[in-house]
Copies of this chain bind each other. A is one copy, B any other.
């Protein structure tokens, strides 16, 4: 399943699948994954959910890698969440069967998803309108399978879904029954929690997410509908929820890697961030306080998620080869293949002396966006510079 480059195969990390010896010998830019931090992050949330008797359904949109999924599930068939049907098809080939596609459906996705149900994959869909229920029912009939779908609930005005008090909730449930679609349950996502930064606000957002989801499920049950699953989740609320009464499953994705946005929200420390972009110094402009590196937005992504937070990290925070932070050294600007390192404005720190060829590691604003710019993870252990493996990522739709 590795999607290999057919050129440059003699170049370490050119996607050849060959494993380079050390971080120091990798061609740059390159994506590094600290597997010990990954395992620690996975264990942190899974034990938190286990202690509350809530099923954890990790979202694979961040990692898009079977090797990462197998760190969470050394064996077994899930459960997982996916953000594209290409992810569902990819993970299905590795034996994962219990999946939720957490994006609203249209006709082409309904038909494509039913092909997976036809081969025994328990892929559950998401919708919030009677029209979508009808479309899904028709796709199921055409494929000769019984579809299963969640009704999306809007708990904080973030994106899609119906509010728990919206009378259309019953119209959708009726349309599902009429279309011959199994009601899997209700699903909500506290997307607005990403904009918070105090534990009080995060605890409140988590309780609101729970309360709205449970209220919607209760409404359906009181009206006689079966609503087995109450699915909530976002990385911030998953880590700050104090009470999950009535919730049956939790979804989260970026918690596996964490990033500077999650650090700004207050969910992790910079020492928890498992992914970084290895870059090389290719120029210096001391007169401007600049160090040029070969990681621009193509390697870091254009994500500026920390711009709205208390600490704007530019395009990322710079660390040395061992992962030790340089005080207040950020990627202040990025073009396609160039990044500019500079001291954060207002800081009294001095620009470090990094000669041409110096390797640095950049902690990303948004792990989902940064990882998606790369073909594979160069896997390292904490405190070691040996590349233990190269794990490919899938992409596309």
Contacts and interface: CB of A to CB of B under 8 A. Distances in A.
A375 B86 CA distance: 13
Interface of A: 1, 3, 5-8, 10-11, 13-15, 27-30, 61, 83-86, 89-90, 93, 103-109, 112, 115, 128-129, 131-132, 135, 157, 159-160, 191, 280-285, 288, 292, 294, 297-299, 301-304, 335-338, 340, 355-357, 366, 368-369, 372-375, 394-397
Q: Is the interface of A mostly helix, strand, loop or mixed?
A: loop
A251 to B, nearest CB: 13
A6 B2 CA distance: 9
13 contacts: A11-B86, A103-B294, A104-B282, A104-B292, A106-B280, A129-B284, A159-B292, A159-B338, A298-B372, A302-B302, A302-B303, A302-B366, A336-B368
Given A7-B1, A8-B86, A27 B112 contact: yes
B301 A302 contact: yes
Given A61-B336, A103-B282, A112 B11 contact: yes
A277 to B, nearest CB: 11
Contact of A108 (B61, B85, B157, B280): B280
Nearest to A27: B108
B282 A7 contact: no
Given A30-B397, A282-B104, A292-B159, A5 B301 contact: no
A158 to B, nearest CB: 8
Nearest to A134: B356
Contacts of A27: 85, 108-109, 112, 397
B86 A340 contact: no
* 4 A-B pairs with least C-beta separation: A302-B302, A104-B282, A8-B89, A160-B283
Given A338-B103, A340-B159, A283 B375 contact: no
Contact of A294 (B106, B283, B299, B357): B106
A118 to B, nearest CB: 12
A1 B8 contact: no
Given A11-B85, A103-B337, A302-B304, 20 more contacts: A1-B6, A13-B397, A27-B397, A29-B397, A103-B282, A103-B294, A106-B280, A106-B356, A106-B357, A108-B280, A131-B356, A135-B356, A159-B340, A160-B283, A160-B285, A191-B335, A298-B372, A302-B303, A302-B366, A372-B373
